[in-house]
């Protein structure tokens, strides 16, 4: 059989989708089966994801698949990073997973560093210090006296938890585990010391499996309920960014990437982790990738800023489409005010519009008035922050960076793509927008031995997608704006 079908379940922090991927010869094609929102739920000032509802969406996707009468070879699940669930001795979930946006980790890294110094944590893990990393969530839960953590027999990261609900098999997939800041990227093993320091037994973690390894088969009850076959579930890059980077249509290695969604993840692909004083001072991360690669990158707050504004506008009865947003941004003057997208005040504010206004006021800049001005301020600031991070990357990259591949949902934003090219002064290659699902599917195929290397994967991707190229324009104008922008960075 020259045609193979795969089912990808891809969960981002604001939406999820189930996708059918078909590989025929040297091409891959996608068909979206279902799409649904993913929401953070606030209860008593704690913030949760609803993993039961997400599992139901997984089953909905499989039920939709079954109506097509297409036989699939495998299933793969990827999600956002760092979050997890606890299981009791009896294998049941002890609580809904906390969301990384929960402020319970505020100030927790500083407390943890009193036990293991910050630099040692970074040297052991190579992971960008961020409040919400699993290590600090675990410590926060301990400090809260959480009954769930104290009764936990196992801990499963979100993609592993969903695979477990589907198959009954517990694993710890390597790429998602690398986001925890508990794993050593050199040994590719967990650092017991980092668990013990906070009184958490390292045995709550499952044995590590690598992307492409088989987890198990869909359980009989799901087979019956969804009307599907007994399909194997394969560990893909469980971390969405890990799957996305696999699907970059690159023709050589001299590129940087920007995986653009709720977050903007900007970095390079390297063989060995880069952990040194520069990477520590610039707070760059080394996440585990497929085929022994490392994603050396930085988390930048991305479309979260816009998504949160949109939510507020919607509650006022104004729902703008994406193309309206781009049009609005174009309709007003640029460079009026800049924000640092990564300022703490934007992490999870009650009102994003108020948080942006407060930032501009505090920094004595013009406060945006119209909705269009807010949008323009966000896009200008993102494009300029990309330049700032790219300049850091250029200092460290072991090769020249000749272009920026923008992938993910944000790559559909032509206005931001052009602004980014203008800001960074090198071409932007935009697409594919469904990079994560494509990567997820290609890793399943790799796991089944249908494709043999990352290079071969990328050749198939290149044969299947039509990226758009954006050449830098107005670079002098953007150079001047950059000088004003960097004044807003702390
Ligand atoms: C993007 C992402 C990112 C993580 C964040 C929590 O979806 O996986 O790589 O840092 O979510």
**Distance, CA of 473 to chain centre:** 30
Nearest CA to ligand 1 atom 5: 81
What is the ipTM metric for this complex?
A: 0.96
List the residue whose alpha carbon is closest to atom 7 of ligand 1: 80
Tell how far the Cα of 356 is from the centroid of ligand 1, in angstroms: 22
State yes or no: pLDDT of 315 exceeds 90: yes
Instruction: Choose the residue to mutate in 173, 179, 238 for probing ligand 1, maximizing ligand atoms within 8 Å of C-beta.
Output: 179
CB within 6 Å of ligand 1 — which residues?
Answer: 12-13, 80-82, 100, 179, 239-241, 261-263, 265, 299
The fraction of the chain above a pLDDT of 90, given in percent, is: 99
Residue-wise pLDDT tens digits, 110-160: 999 999 999 999 999 999 999 999 999 999 999 999 999 999 999 999 999
pLDDT band at 319 (very low <50, low <70, confident <90, very high): very high
Catalytic residue among 160, 240, 340, 371: 240
Alpha-carbon span 324 to 279, nearest angstrom: 39
Phi, psi values for residue 220, rounded to 5°:
-50, -45
To 5 degrees, how large is the angle CA 393–CA 295–CA 77? 145
List, for residues 55-100, the tens digit of each pLDDT value: 999 999 999 999 999 999 999 999 999 999 999 999 999 999 999 9
Residue among 136, 299, 407 to mutate when testing ligand 1 (max atoms within 8 A of CB): 299
221: CA distance to ligand 1 center in Å? 32
Residue range 263-272: mean pLDDT, rounded: 97
**What is the 192 CA–ligand 1 centroid distance (Å)?**
24
The protein residue whose alpha carbon is closest to atom 2 in ligand 1 is 80
Which residue stretches of 8-154 are H helix?
51-67, 108-112, 118-125, 134-144, 147-151
- CA–CA separation, 395 and 379 (whole Å): 25
Q: Measured from the CA of 241, which atom of ligand 1 is nearest?
A: 9
Q: Whose CA is nearest to atom 10 of ligand 1?
A: 81
Query: What is the average pLDDT value for the chain, to the nearest integer?
Result: 97
**pLDDT at position 440 over 80:** yes
DSSP code string of 144-190: HT-HHHHH-SEEEEHHHHHHHHHHS---EEHHHHHTTT-EETTTTEE
Closest-CA residue to 273 (of 284, 260, 262)? 284
Q: What's the burial of 332, exposed, middle or buried (CB within 10 Å: 0-12/13-18/19+)? A: middle
DSSP secondary structure code for residue 368 in this structure: P
Q: What stretches of 172-254 adopt beta strand conformation (E)? A: 172-173, 183-184, 189-190, 208-209, 214-217, 232-234
Distance 227 CA to ligand 1 centre (A): 33
Range 365-383 average pLDDT: 98
Average pLDDT of the segment spanning 349-353: 97
Q: Residue 421 — φ and ψ, nearest 5°?
A: -60, -45
Judged by DSSP in three states, 74 sits in strand
Quick one: pLDDT at residue 490? 79
Residue nearest to atom 8 of ligand 1 (CA): 80
C-alpha to C-alpha distance for 370 and 376, rounded to whole angstroms: 10
Please state the atom number of ligand 1 nearest to the C-alpha of residue 263.
1
Does the pTM exceed 0.95?
Answer: yes
Ligand 1 midpoint to CA 80 (Å): 5
Residue partners of 183: CB distance under 8 A and separation at least 6? 125, 177, 189, 190, 191, 288
Q: Tell me how far apart the alpha carbons of residues 450 and 466 are, in angstroms, rounded to a whole number.
A: 23
Instruction: Identify whether 432 is preceded by a cis peptide bond (ω within 30 of 0).
Output: yes
Chain position carrying tokens 């930032």: 359
Q: Which residues touch 134 (CB under 8 Å, ≥6 apart)?
A: 82, 83, 84, 157, 179, 180, 181, 182
Instruction: Judge whether residue 1 has pLDDT over 80.
Output: no
Region of 69 on the Ramachandran plot (φ > 0 left; ψ -120 to 50 alpha; else beta): left
CA separation, residue 340 to residues 103, 276, 302, 347, 408 (Å): 20, 25, 11, 12, 22
Q: What is the mean pLDDT of residues 386-415?
A: 97
Residue 461's contacts (CB-CB under 8 Å, 6 or more residues apart) are 28, 247, 248, 249, 432, 438, 442
The helix (run of H) or strand (run of E) holding residue 19 is strand 15-24
Distance between terminal CA atoms of the chain? 57
Residue 251 pLDDT:
87
User: Which atom from ligand 1 is nearest to the alpha carbon of 132?
Assistant: 6
Specify whether 240 is catalytic: yes
pLDDT over threshold 70, residue 18: yes
Token readout for 142 is 């301990």
Residue ID of nearest Cα to ligand 1 atom 11? 80
């Amino acid at each position: 059989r020259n045609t193979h079908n795969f089912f990808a379940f891809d969960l981002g922090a604001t939406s999820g989708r189930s996708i059918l991927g078909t590989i025929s010869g040297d091409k891959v094609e996608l068909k979206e089966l279902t799409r649904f929102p993913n929401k953070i739920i606030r209860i008593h000032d704690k913030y949760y994801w609803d993993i039961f509802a997400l599992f139901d969406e997984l089953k909905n996707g499989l039920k939709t698949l079954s109506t097509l009468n297409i036989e699939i070879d495998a299933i793969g699940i990827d999600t956002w990073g760092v979050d997890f669930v606890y299981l009791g001795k009896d294998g049941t979930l002890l609580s809904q997973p906390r969301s990384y946006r929960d402020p319970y980790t505020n100030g927790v890294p500083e407390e943890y560093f009193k036990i293991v110094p910050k630099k040692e944590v970074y040297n052991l893990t190579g992971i960008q210090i961020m409040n919400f990393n699993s290590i600090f969530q675990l410590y926060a839960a301990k400090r809260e006296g959480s009954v769930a953590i104290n009764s936990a027999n196992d801990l499963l990261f979100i993609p592993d938890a969903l695979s477990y609900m589907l198959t009954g098999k517990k694993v710890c997939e390597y790429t998602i585990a690398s986001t925890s800041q508990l794993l050593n990227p050199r040994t590719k093993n967990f650092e017991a010391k980092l668990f013990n320091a906070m009184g958490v037994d390292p045995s709550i973690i499952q044995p590590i499996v690598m992307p492409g390894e088989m987890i198990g088969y869909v359980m009989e009850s799901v087979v019956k309920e969804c009307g599907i076959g007994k399909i194997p579930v394969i560990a893909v890059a469980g971390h969405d960014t890990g799957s996305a980077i696999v699907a970059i249509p690159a023709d050589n290695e001299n590129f940087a990437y920007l995986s653009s969604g709720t977050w903007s993840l900007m970095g390079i692909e390297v063989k060995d982790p880069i952990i040194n004083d520069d990477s520590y001072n610039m707070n760059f991360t080394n996440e585990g990738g497929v085929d022994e690669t490392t994603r050396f990158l930085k988390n930048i707050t991305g479309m979260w800023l816009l998504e949160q504004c949109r939510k507020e506008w919607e509650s006022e009865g104004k729902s703008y489409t994406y193309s309206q947003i781009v049009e609005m941004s174009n309709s007003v003057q640029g460079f009026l005010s800049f924000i640092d997208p990564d300022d703490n005040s934007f992490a999870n504010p009650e009102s994003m519009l108020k948080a942006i206004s407060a930032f501009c006021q505090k920094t004595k800049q013009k406060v945006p008035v119209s909705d269009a001005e807010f949008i323009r301020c966000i896009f200008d600031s993102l494009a300029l922050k990309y330049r700032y991070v790219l300049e850091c990357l250029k200092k460290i990259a072991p090769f020249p960076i000749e272009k920026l591949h923008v992938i993910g949902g944000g790559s559909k934003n032509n206005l931001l793509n052009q602004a980014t090219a203008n800001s960074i002064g090198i071409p932007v290659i935009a697409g594919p927008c469904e990079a994560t699902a494509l990567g997820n599917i290609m890793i399943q195929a790799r796991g089944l031995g249908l494709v043999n290397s990352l290079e071969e994967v990328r050749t198939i991707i290149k044969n299947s997608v039509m990226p758009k190229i954006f050449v830098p324009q107005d670079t002098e104008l953007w150079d001047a704006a950059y000088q004003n922008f960097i004044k807003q960075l702390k």
